[in-house]
Amino acid sequence: MNGLLLLIPIALSLGLLGLGAFFWSIKGGQFDDLDGAALRILVEDESDARSLLP
Amino acid sequence: MNVMTRLAPEAALIERDFAVPDIRCAGCISKLEQGLVRDARIRSARVNFTEKRVHLAHTADAEMPDLLGAFTSLGFEAHPIGEGPKDVDGEAATSKELVRAVAVSGFAMMNIMLLSVSVWSGATGVTRDLFHWLSALIALPTIAYAGRPFFRSAWRALKHGHTNMDVPISIGVTLATALSLYETATHGAHAYFDSAVMLLFFLLCGRWLDSVMRDRARGGVTALLRNMGTGAMVVGADGSTHWTDATALQPGMVMLVAAGERLAADGVIVQGSTRIDLSLLTGESAPQDAALDDLVHAGTLNIEAPVRVRVTAAGTDTAIADIARLMGEASQGKSRYVRIADRAARLYAPAVHGLAITAFAGWMVAGAGWHKALLIAVAVLIITCPCALGLAVPAAQIVAAGALMKRGVLIKDGSALERMAEIDRALIDKTGTLTLGRPVASNLGEIAAKYRPVLLALAQMSRHPLSAALTRDLTAQGVHAAAIDEVKETPGFGVAARWQGRPVTLGRPQGADAGSELASELSIDGQSVALVRFADALRPDAVQAIASLRAEGVDAMILSGDRTAAVAPVARTLGLTAMTGLSPQDKLAAIARSSGAGHKVLMIGDGLNDGPALAAGHASMAPGSASDVGKNASDCIFMGDRLMPVVDTIRMARRTQAIVRQNFALAIGYNVIAVPLAFAGLVTPLVAAIAMSGSSLIVVGNALRLKGALK
C-alpha cells in the first residue's frame, strides 16, 4: 500500500508531463508543417556555414 | 534593455502570406528562405512546406510588385493570400481544440484503464475504493474538458427541438459518470469511469479525423486561391504609380494593367487598346478586342498590351457581384443536404433511448430495485452508444480523401464525398474544363526544326500568354533556346531581336493571316518563315474519361457559354449533346430541370459564369486552373491536365459509401449481440471496455481497405 501511495502519483505526474509537453509543442507550432520538418534536415543552415569559413 | 531597443523599429513590419505552389523539395525551402532575406526590405521568410506557403515579414516600403518580383528572381511564382476569410482561422482553432481534447481523453483513458485493470483482476476493499476515487479524480475534469464539443452540440440540438448523435452520447456519459460516482461513494463494485472516458476518446478521434480532412483540403485550396487579395497598380494624379489592394480600389482611380494581368475591377479603357480574354467570365474562348472607351470587367485577362483603365465599379459593385448573389441563392439547396451519419442518428438516437428506458422499466417491474435497474439502463446506454458509428463515417472518408489527394483531387469535406456517390448525370462546361482553357501550339510539327531554337529564345523573352504557351510546348519537346541579343519587346506587336547577326521577330501575323485567329509569326530579315497557330486543345484523356463516365452509368452533357460554332467540334469529338450560348442563369435553369426530373447532377466547370451552377449542383468539381469563384463554389478540385480524376473521384466516392454502409452493418451487428447481454445485466465495465474497443478497431480496419481501392 505504501508503495502505491508513492508510485501512483509518480505515474500520474509522468503522464501529465507528457501531456503538458504535447500541449506545449502544439502551441509552439511544431505540428504546423510536418512534411517541411522532414525536409529541413537536408537544408544547409547558411549562418552556420558562414561561421565555419575562415 | 538591449533587446528592447533592437526590437522597437521592427514593430513596423508588415506580415503577409504568399501561396507558392512550386515548393517541391528541400532545395526550394533553403533557396526561398535564404534568397528572400537578401532583399533588405524583407526581414524574415518562413516556408510552410505542407501548405505550400511562405510567411514574410517586410518593412512598410516594400510594395506588392517588389515582393512578387523577389519571388520571381528566385524562379518561383507567388500569389498573395488575402486577409480574406476569417472563418478559416475559426475552423483551424476547432481542429486544434479537438487535438487537445483527444490528447487529454487519451491520457485519462490510459490511466483509468490501468487502475481499472487492477480492479478487474481482483482488488477489493480499501484498494478498490482508492482506485475508484482516483479514477473519478482523473475522469471528472477530463469529461468536463473533452466532452464539451458533444455537450455543446447536443444542447444546441435539444434547444431547436430535434435530436442528433450527440444527445445519446451526452446523456450516456453524464449518467454513467453520475452513477459511477454514487457507486464509488457507496463502496460499490462497478464504476464505469473507464467506459465513459473511452467513449469520449473514440468519438473525439472520429471528430478529429473529420476536421483533419477539412483542414487538409483547405490548406490546398488556399494555396490555389491566387486572385484573392490582389490589386492593381494605380496611377496617381502626379503620374506616379503605387500598388493598391483590390479592396481599396475606388471608382475614378486609373489602373495600369500590364499584358498577362487580370483586371481587379470593372472599368473603361482610357489609354491604349488590347485584346481581352473573357473565358472565365462568359465561357467565350476567342479573345475580344478592347479599345478606347470600351467597358472591361473584373476577372478578365488582358492578353496583349498594357492599358490604362478608369475604375467604374470596384469590389461588391462589379459585374461579378451579380454572379455572387446568384451563387448565394443557389447554394442553399446544398446546405439542406443531411449527412449520412445524421440520418442514421435520427433513427438511432430514439432507438437507444427507447432501449435504455425499456431496460430500466423492465427490471423495475421484475422487482430488481431502482439501483440495479439504473445500473443496467446505463450499461445499455454505454454499450449502444454510437462509438463505432461515430468512427464509421469519418474513418472511411479520410482514407478515401487521402487516396484521392495522391491522385491530385482535393475534397473539401466529407459530405462532398457522400453527395458525389449519388450522382447520375454530369453537366460539363467546355472552355477550361473539357478543354485546357489555355492556348496550345497546334502546328509545331509543321515548323522546320532549325527555327525551333530561335522561336523558343524569342518566346522566353515575353510574358505574353501566347509566348508562355510556346515556351512551355517547345521546352516539353526538349528544344534548347538559341543565343540571341538586342532583345526588344513592343507591346501590341511582339518581340524583336538579333540572331546570328540577322534581325528576327516573333509577333502578331501581318498580311493575310492578321485575323481573329490566335497565331504568331516568326520573321527573319523581315521575311515570314513560320506561322504558329494556337488553339484551345481538349484535355488529353477527355475521350477516355467521358467513356468511363458512361461505363459508370453517368450520362454527360456539355453546358457552355461559348458560341455553337466553337462548341460543335468538341461535342462531335466526344459524342456529347451540348447546350450553347448559356448565361449563368441559363445554366442554373438547366440544372434545375435535371434535378426536377429526379437526376442528381454533378456540375463540372471552371469559370466565374459557372459559379452559380457549381453551387447549385448536387455535387461539383472544378479544375485547379479554375477561377477563384469556381474553386470556392465547388466540392472538389482536380489538378493537372487530365480529366480522368473526375471518374476516379466518382468511383472512390461510391466505394467509400459502400464501406460506410458495411461499417454501419458491422455496428448494428455488434449491437444485436451486445444489447441482449446488456439487457440481461451481464455487461460489467470489463465487458463494455472490450466490446467498445473491439468494434471500433473492426470499423477502422474496414475503412483502411479503401486505401488500395483505386489501384
B281 occurs within a structural domain: yes
Same-domain status, B633 and B553 = yes
- Counting the structural domains of chain B, the total is 4
B91 occurs within a structural domain: no
CA B683 – CA B636 distance, rounded (Å): 45
- Counting the structural domains of chain A, the total is 1
CA B172 – CA B192 distance, rounded (Å): 11
Domain stops at, among B52, B81, B110: B81
pTM of the model: 0.74
CA distance B386 to chain A (A): 27
Q: What is the pLDDT of residue B229?
A: 43
- Count of A-B CB contacts under 8 Å: 52
What residues pair up with B496 in beta bridges, in sequence order?
Answer: B488, B505
Same-domain status, B458 and B572 = no
Distances (CA, A) of B203 to B377, B500, B531: 21, 72, 65
Same-domain status, B528 and B586 = no
What residues pair up with B497 in beta bridges, in sequence order?
Answer: B504
β-bridge pairing B502-507 and B494-499 = antiparallel
Same-domain status, B533 and B448 = yes
CA distance B139 to chain A (A): 13
Nearest CA in chain B to A11: B111
B393 occurs within a structural domain: no
Probe site for chain B from A19, A45, A50 (most B CB atoms < 10 A): A19
Other C-beta atoms lying within 10 Å of the C-beta of residue B153: 17
Nearest CA in chain B to A17: B107
CA B484 – CA B462 distance, rounded (Å): 14
Residues 6+ apart with CB under 8 A from B324: B316, B611, B629
CA B42 – CA B56 distance, rounded (Å): 7
Helix (H, G, I), strand (E, B) or coil at A29: coil
Q: What is the pLDDT of residue B146?
A: 92
Give chain A's contact residues with B (Cβ, < 8 Å): 1, 4, 8, 11-12, 15-16, 18-19, 22-23, 26, 32-36, 39-44, 46
B502 occurs within a structural domain: yes
Q: Above pLDDT 70, what percent of chain A?
A: 78
Q: What is the pLDDT of residue A19?
A: 92
The partner residue sitting opposite A22, judged by closest CB among B49, B103, B114, is: B103
**Whole-number CA gyration radius for chain B:** 31
Q: What is the pLDDT of residue A20?
A: 94
B662 burial (CB, 10 Å; 0-12 / 13-18 / 19+) is middle
Same-domain status, B413 and B507 = no
| DSSP H or E run through B414 | helix B414-422
Reading the block at residue B178, the C-alpha cell is 453520475
B466 occurs within a structural domain: yes
Q: What is the pLDDT of residue B135?
A: 93
ipTM for the predicted complex: 0.80
CA B506 – CA B447 distance, rounded (Å): 14
Q: A4 and B130: CB-CB below 8 Å? A: yes
pLDDT confidence band for A7 (50 / 70 / 90)? confident
CA B637 – CA B270 distance, rounded (Å): 38
Same-domain status, B574 and B495 = no
CA B380 – CA B677 distance, rounded (Å): 9
Set of chain B residues whose Cβ sits within 8 Å of the Cβ of A21: none
Q: What is the pLDDT of residue B449?
A: 78
Q: What is the pLDDT of residue B583?
A: 83
Q: What is the pLDDT of residue B109?
A: 92
Q: A23 and B100: CB-CB below 8 Å? A: yes
Same-domain status, B44 and B65 = yes
Nearest CA in chain A to B105: A19
CA distance A23 to chain B (A): 7
Helix (H, G, I), strand (E, B) or coil at B39: coil
Other C-beta atoms lying within 10 Å of the C-beta of residue B55: 15
Domain stops at, among B538, B554, B587: B538
Candidates B17, B166, B277, B429; catalytic one: B429
Set of chain B residues whose Cβ sits within 8 Å of the Cβ of A4: 127, 130
- Residues lower than pLDDT 50 in chain B: 1-9, 84-88, 223, 225-229, 516
Domain stops at, among B638, B654, B670: B654
Set of chain B residues whose Cβ sits within 8 Å of the Cβ of A39: 25-26, 29, 49
Q: Do B341 and B312 touch, CB atoms closer than 8 A?
A: no
Q: A46 and B114: CB-CB below 8 Å? A: no
Q: Do B44 and B37 touch, CB atoms closer than 8 A?
A: yes
Three-state SS for B506-553 is EECCCHHHCCCCCEEEEEECCEEEEEEEEEEEECCCHHHHHHHHHHCC
CATH assignment at residue B306 = 2.70.150.10
Give the residue numbers spanning the domain of A6.
2-52
| DSSP H or E run through B104 | helix B86-120
CA A30 – CA B30 distance, rounded (Å): 19
| Signed CA dihedral, B657, B661, B662, B664: sign only | positive
Maximum Cα–Cα distance for chain A, whole Å?
Answer: 65
Q: Do B540 and B641 touch, CB atoms closer than 8 A?
A: yes
First to last CA, chain A: 65
B111 occurs within a structural domain: no
The partner residue sitting opposite A26, judged by closest CB among B30, B99, B134, is: B99
Q: What is the pLDDT of residue B492?
A: 67
CATH assignment at residue B649 = 3.40.50.1000
The partner residue sitting opposite B134, judged by closest CB among A1, A8, A35, is: A8
Residues 51-110 of B with CB under 8 A from A: 51, 96, 99-100, 103-104, 107, 110
B521 occurs within a structural domain: yes
Same-domain status, B6 and B29 = yes
Same-domain status, B273 and B421 = no
Q: What is the pLDDT of residue B222?
A: 54
Q: B48 and A1: CB-CB below 8 Å? A: no
CA distance B26 to chain A (A): 5
Set of chain A residues whose Cβ sits within 8 Å of the Cβ of B107: 15-16, 18-19
Q: B13: which DSSP letter?
A: -
Q: What is the pLDDT of residue B637?
A: 85
Q: What is the pLDDT of residue B367?
A: 84
Q: A34 and B99: CB-CB below 8 Å? A: no
Probe site for chain B from A1, A2, A8, A27 (most B CB atoms < 10 A): A8
Set of chain A residues whose Cβ sits within 8 Å of the Cβ of B50: 32-36
Set of chain A residues whose Cβ sits within 8 Å of the Cβ of B96: 26
Q: B47 and A8: CB-CB below 8 Å? A: no
Q: Indicate if B429 belongs to the active site.
A: yes
Distances (CA, A) of A51 to A32, A48, A54, B241, B575: 30, 5, 8, 42, 67
Set of chain B residues whose Cβ sits within 8 Å of the Cβ of A8: 134
CA nearest B400: which of B633, B617, B209? B209
Q: What is the pLDDT of residue B319?
A: 65
Same-domain status, B420 and B446 = no
CA B578 – CA B571 distance, rounded (Å): 6
CA nearest B427: which of B324, B542, B625, B577? B577
Reading the block at residue B349, the C-alpha cell is 438516437
Give the residue numbers spanning the domain of B564.
409-436+540-654
